[in-house]
Structure 1
Amino acid sequence: MVSSIATYISLPGHTAEAMTHWHEIFGGELTILRYGDTGMEGLPFTPDPEAVAHSTLTLPNGAIAAGDSMGDGTDYPIRGTAYSLLVTTDTADEARGYIDGFLDAGGTTNMPFEKAPWGDWYGQVFDRFGVMWAFSTSDA
């Protein structure tokens, strides 16, 4: 049985900044481990000691994990709708607060937060790093 599932994002060299930003918006507990702090030797690549080896933002009902990509030709486009995070909130006002946090910090609206055809509130924003965040609530 699966005990938990977390989203893992590989970012091109700005994981610490993105995770710190998301921590400012959502709160929770943030841990960041840089390669220079790991003592790892014998890796098949030579990472920048300041690069993020692993980070986790633990929230009451989930987690986001991330690390810096190593630039070995596996950097995939971040901005798009193929990868996104869905945040379900208790109220529409709570969702609007998170959305405003992203927009105030340089994000852009992808889909306005409004009543959806299925009856819930739904909307999407791209944060300043290109990650798409979708917000949903059944709050009337």
Structure 2
Amino acid sequence: MVTSLATYIALPGTTAEAMEHWHEVFGGELEIARYGDMDLQGMPFTPDPQAVAHATLTLPGGIIAGGDAMDDGTDYPVRGTAYSLLYTADSPDEARELITKLLDGGGSDGMPFERAPWGDWYGQVFDRYGVMWAFSSPGA
């Protein structure tokens, strides 16, 4: 096995929907495993069989992994900057296309995508699940 680092996010029962949406936007290979598809002997709790135990979206530049949050009713807000993903596109046009797909999918603007003081392009958008996507692209 190759050592790697993946982003992991636990969403409040919307992981499958979010992963499918991100798959539509970014492409890649999506795998979703639900608790109902597994042998749950020895589990310390009985999860909803439709809940996502583990999902991965493998993209050329990395992996987004996640599952449905299994909490005790604690409210962990998703919208904000604590959960954010940075996507570096090959060109400003590619970044704009992805931003448009997230906005058209129910997202909202966070920061305009424009030339940043350091010379590259940068902007932010919140998807319909409250996850902040930061986009960058080389300035040259």
Task: Identify the TM-score tier after normalising by the shorter chain.
Answer: over 0.9
Partner of 1:116: 116
Establish whether residue 51 from structure 1 lines up as the match of residue 51 from structure 2: yes
- Structure 1 distance, partners of 2:11, 2:44, is 19
Partners in 2 of 1:85 and 1:29 — Cα distance? 18
CA RMSD of aligned residues (A): 1.2
- Percentage of pairs with the same residue: 72
Q: How far apart are 1:116 and its partner, in Å?
A: 0.5
Task: Answer yes or no: is the 8 Å Cα contact 1:7–1:64 preserved in 2.
Answer: yes
Which residue of structure 1 aligns with residue 41 of structure 2? Answer: 41
One-letter amino acid of the counterpart of residue 44, structure 2: P
Give the structure-2-normalised TM-score: 0.95
Q: Which runs of 5+ in 1 are unaligned?
A: none
Taking structure 1 as the reference length, what is the TM-score of the superposition? Answer: 0.95
CA deviation profile, 1:52-79 (whole Å, cap 9, x unmatched) = 0000000112000010011324542100
- Report the number of matched residues: 139
Cα shift readout 1:25-74 (whole Å, capped 9, x = no counterpart): 00000000000001122211110000000000001120000100113245
Quote how far apart the aligned CAs of 1:139 are. 3.7
Deviation (angstroms), 1:8 = 0.2
Show the counterpart of 1:66: 66
Q: Which runs of 5+ in 2 are unaligned?
A: none
Q: Which secondary structure state, in structure 2, belongs to the residue aligned with residue 133 of structure 1? A: strand
Query: How far apart in 2 are the matches of 1:78 and 1:109?
Result: 16
Task: Find the aligned partners of 2:66 and 2:82 in 1 and give their Cα distance.
Answer: 17
Which 4+ runs in 1 deviate beyond 3 A? Answer: none
Change (3 A) 1:74 1:42: farther
Distance across 1 between alignment mates of 2:122 and 2:45:
42
Does the aligned pair in 2 maintain the 1:7–1:65 contact within 8 Å? yes
